[in-house]
Amino acid sequence: MKARYDLRTMLKPKSVAIIGASRNPDKVGHIILQNYLSAGYSGKLYPINPNADEILGLRAYKSVLDIKRDSIDLAVVAIPAELTPQALNDCGKAGIRNVVVVSGGFAEVGNGALQDKLKDICDKYGIAMIGPNCLGLMDTRSRIDTLFLPSYKISRPFIGRVSFVSQSGAVGSTILDIISSEGIGLSKFISYGNAVCVDEVDILEYLMADDETDVIVMYIEGIKRGKEFVEVARKLGKKKPVVILKAGRTDAGVTAAHSHTAALAGNYATQEAIFRQFGFTVAKDLDELLDYAKIFASDPEPKGNRVSIITNGGGTGVLTTDAVASSRSLVLSQLANETRAALAKTMPALVNVTNPLDLAGDADAKRYGDALTAVSADENTDILIVIALFQTPGADSKVAAELVHQKGDMDKPMVVISVGSDYTGLHKKILESGGVPVYESPSAAAKALEALFEYGRFRDRKP
Amino acid sequence: MLEYAQAKKVLDEYGIRSVESAYVGAADEAVAFSDGDRIVLKLISDKAVHKTKEGLVKLDLKGEDEISAAFRYLEDRGRKLRPYKILAQKMAESGVEIIIGGNTDAQFGRMLLIGLGGIYVETFKDVELRLCPITKADAKNMLESLRSGKVITHGGASTKMVANLLFSVSKLLIEHEEISELDLNPVIVREGSYDVVDIRMIK
């Protein structure tokens, strides 16, 4: 399938025109321009505003048609809906082939006719349009940022290898705000709104080939082109992990059907089945979406399903043991004799060398380090769950630093379970910015590890 | 809906085994069909969707008297369900009842379904769906993913048999565009063999 649009140029533009850029700090066009400047975008910026000569220190133009000396790779349109067709037409005449329309006021409010006009103009000039009614694009490497959210209101994520696709702008901005605090580094953010031209199929196709993207996280409300979606999903699932949250899970609109099969194969069930068939990890809510995104972003594929648990709290160790044992695909490991011998040498007498390995409440960085060194080398262990309760006397920032250090040396997946408030939160940050995924409950950790294991199994499966 | 005999023929094309069956027009035809074996008599009518619930299936019939009495009973019930036919089938050996089905999704196309069948299917809704065509690995994975997977087969030859059956049904659904919905319910699965007992094929 040949790509319909050139999304690469859209995300890596050398020059950007911002139509609707304004001197008024309350206007969307002002925020977008300001964000480009704040992000340190290194390409050329052209504010477009018929009533200004200069905005934020940049020369402003009355129309994109007035920019004679440069070709524009991307135009961002942030003006009222009724003025958008004219602006889009100007873009077409000026030879601009990539446009993001962030403005709302189209089909989502019943104004389908105006939306059709945009579509006609795009078709006429061969414009790839994202939107309307969307947040648009962010690329942490090219530093483009069409989001009209003031930077003080939303944390901008750091550079990473997870790309996030959201049909909805609201869900998109929420997740964008959270992922930086969850330690998930971002490659690209694409919010595509009404999907008049560029839709989820185009975006997935692009991200599948994008070598700055290792993990795709997706929130969708509907799929426009079913057959094409399947065609891309079939290839994509084998290539990169995809975590997907599809709204409309409880759609009760399944009408009376003729057969049992039709009644059982409702709309959501069908889509979920297709996602799973192609190896996508299906999240049921935003929490799960982030939990899964986090593990795919930071952990390697496990070689097997045997889990070893290291803890500084007995009770949490037992709860985690339960979560692992009741999971569909994970099992508890039996530590090998050599590992047990190594642990017997380094652990104090009160530590019972077994799985879960309870390091006791006074466990400090050294004890964690010794335990992790032995267990990560254990031949019967494929996955490590480390419980670090920072309320205990022994646990402090040195423990967090030791866990980060150990994780860096490890070729097995490792997650941390840490539950608590402010002091814990601080250490959670240290861990996550060091690439260690942290979960707040044993069940969330087990579910995420199960997803990681299942994806690996899917990827290795012969057809 | 495709008539039973026609539907059975479609299954035959793919080597999908269904129980021996014939329409019978009179009690003595049913007795002759039995030929000493235990049989089932079913009243088939578009007006009767849930045959079992409505008492239109007479199971485990043997000998002239029992078969004739059951035939006459169904004939009597049939008066209100015209047009109808009475289908005689050899009684399948007992086993685990499953459902295998096909459906057409307007957006994605042919979907294949498997679940623990018979009376359980609506209650537990333990079903797995896949988009057709499926691979052999998909077929195996469908069985593994069912909560009741281990109730249906215990791995080894039986798992392979049901996986092959799923693969054949997927092929049928892809190649027979005219069939929009399909229920094989129940399919009775035993160690090493299976029988499709009832077929609904909707054009």
> Distance between CA atoms of B194 and B197, rounded to whole angstroms?
9
- Residue B34's closest CA among B91, B85, B86, B94? B91
pLDDT over threshold 50, residue B65: yes
Does one domain contain both B198 and B120?
yes
Q: Which helix (H) or strand (E) holds A117?
A: helix A112-125
CB neighbourhood size of A398 (10 A): 14
CATH topology of domain A300-460: Rossmann fold (3.40.50)
CB neighbourhood size of A394 (10 A): 19
> Which tokens go with A246?
């599809």
User: pLDDT category, A27, cuts 50, 70, 90?
Assistant: confident
Instruction: Classify A143 in phi/psi space as left (phi over 0), alpha (psi -120 to 50) or beta.
Output: left
Does one domain contain both B129 and B155?
yes
What value of ipTM does the predicted structure carry? 0.82
The DSSP call for residue A305 is S
pLDDT over threshold 80, residue B120: no
> Which tokens go with A354?
């077994």
pLDDT of residue B124: 79
> Distance between CA atoms of A78 and B105, rounded to whole angstroms?
38
In a domain, B14, yes or no: no
pLDDT, tens digit, 9 for 90 and up, residues A83-96: 999 999 999 999 99
Interface check B148 vs A, CB under 8 A? no
User: pLDDT category, A208, cuts 50, 70, 90?
Assistant: very high
In a domain, B101, yes or no: yes
Does one domain contain both B132 and B86?
no
- The CATH number of whichever domain residue B32 belongs to comes to 3.30.1490.20
Work out the minimum CA distance from B131 to partner chain A, whole angstroms.
Answer: 6
Q: How many domains would you assign to chain B?
A: 2
Contact B108 A230 (CB under 8 A): yes
pLDDT of residue A289: 96
- The CATH number of whichever domain residue B189 belongs to comes to 3.30.470.20
Domain boundary among B90, B125, B144: B90
Interface check B10 vs A, CB under 8 A? no
DSSP letter string, A439-457? ESSHHHHHHHHHHHHHHHH
Contact B109 A260 (CB under 8 A): no
What phi, psi does A367 have (nearest 5°)? -65, -40
Interface check B128 vs A, CB under 8 A? yes
Does one domain contain both B86 and B155?
no
* Cα Dmax for chain B: 53
In a domain, B60, yes or no: yes
In a domain, B112, yes or no: yes
pLDDT of residue A462: 81
Does one domain contain both B113 and B34?
no
pTM for this prediction: 0.90
> Distance between CA atoms of A147 and A150, rounded to whole angstroms?
8
pLDDT, tens digit, 9 for 90 and up, residues B33-58: 999 999 999 998 888 777 777 788 99
Interface check B149 vs A, CB under 8 A? no
> Which tokens go with A25?
């700090």
Does one domain contain both B112 and B176?
yes
pLDDT, tens digit, 9 for 90 and up, residues B23-33: 999 999 999 99
Does one domain contain both B106 and B190?
yes
In a domain, B1, yes or no: no
Does one domain contain both B187 and B123?
yes
> Distance between CA atoms of A165 and B88, rounded to whole angstroms?
57
pLDDT, tens digit, 9 for 90 and up, residues A223-271: 889 999 999 999 999 999 999 998 876 544 444 445 565 665 667 788 9
Q: Which CATH class for the A1-135 domain?
A: alpha beta
Work out the minimum CA distance from B115 to partner chain A, whole angstroms.
Answer: 10
> Which tokens go with B132?
């057709």
* Cα Dmax for chain A: 80
- Closest B-chain CA to A459: B137
Of A159-163, A387-391, B50-54, B73-77, minimum mean pLDDT range: B50-54
> Distance between CA atoms of B39 and B17, rounded to whole angstroms?
17
> Distance between CA atoms of B166 and B136, rounded to whole angstroms?
9
Average pLDDT, chain B: 90
> Which tokens go with A248?
């409309």
pLDDT of residue A255: 45
CB neighbourhood size of B179 (10 A): 18
Work out the minimum CA distance from B62 to partner chain A, whole angstroms.
Answer: 31
Domain residue limits, chain A: 1-135, 154-298, 300-460
CB neighbourhood size of B178 (10 A): 9
**Domain range for B122:** 96-202
Interface check A153 vs B, CB under 8 A? no
pLDDT, tens digit, 9 for 90 and up, residues A271-313: 999 999 999 999 999 999 999 999 999 999 999 999 999 999 9
pLDDT, tens digit, 9 for 90 and up, residues B139-164: 999 998 998 888 888 777 889 999 99
pLDDT, tens digit, 9 for 90 and up, residues B178-188: 999 999 999 99
In a domain, B179, yes or no: yes
Note if the bond before A25 is cis, omega within 30 degrees: no
Q: Which residues of A touch B128 (CB under 8 A)?
A: 273
- Residue A317's closest CA among A269, A388, A372? A388
- Residue A234's closest CA among B155, B145, B130, B30? B130
| Overall average pLDDT of the A435-451 stretch | 97
pLDDT of residue A261: 59
pLDDT over threshold 60, residue A105: yes
Domain boundary among B36, B68, B90: B90
Note if the bond before A132 is cis, omega within 30 degrees: yes
Does one domain contain both B53 and B145?
no
pLDDT over threshold 90, residue A216: yes
In a domain, B5, yes or no: no
- Closest B-chain CA to A229: B108
In a domain, B161, yes or no: yes
Does one domain contain both B106 and B28?
no
Work out the minimum CA distance from A320 to partner chain B, whole angstroms.
Answer: 23
Residue A211: is it exposed, middle or buried by C-beta count within 10 angstroms (0-12/13-18/19+)?
exposed
Note if the bond before A437 is cis, omega within 30 degrees: no
Domain boundary among B90, B108, B125: B90
> Distance between CA atoms of A35 and A45, rounded to whole angstroms?
12
SS (H, E, C) chain B: CCCHHHHHHHHHHCCCCECCEEECCCHHHHHHHHCCCCEEEEEECCCCCCCCCCCCEEEEECHHHHHHHHHHHHHHHHHHHCCCEEEEEECCCCCEEEEEEEEEECCCEEEEEEEECHHHHHHHCCEEEEECCCCHHHHHHHHHHCCCHHHHCCCHHHHHHHHHHHHHHHHHHHHCCCCCEEEEEEEEEECCEEEECCEEEEC
pLDDT over threshold 90, residue A1: no
The DSSP call for residue A199 is -
**One fold for A1-135 and A154-298:** yes
A154-298 is a CATH 3.30.300.20 domain: no
pLDDT of residue A458: 94
Angle B104-B107-B111 (CA atoms, 0-180°, nearest 5)?
35
Does one domain contain both B33 and B106?
no
Does one domain contain both B103 and B55?
no
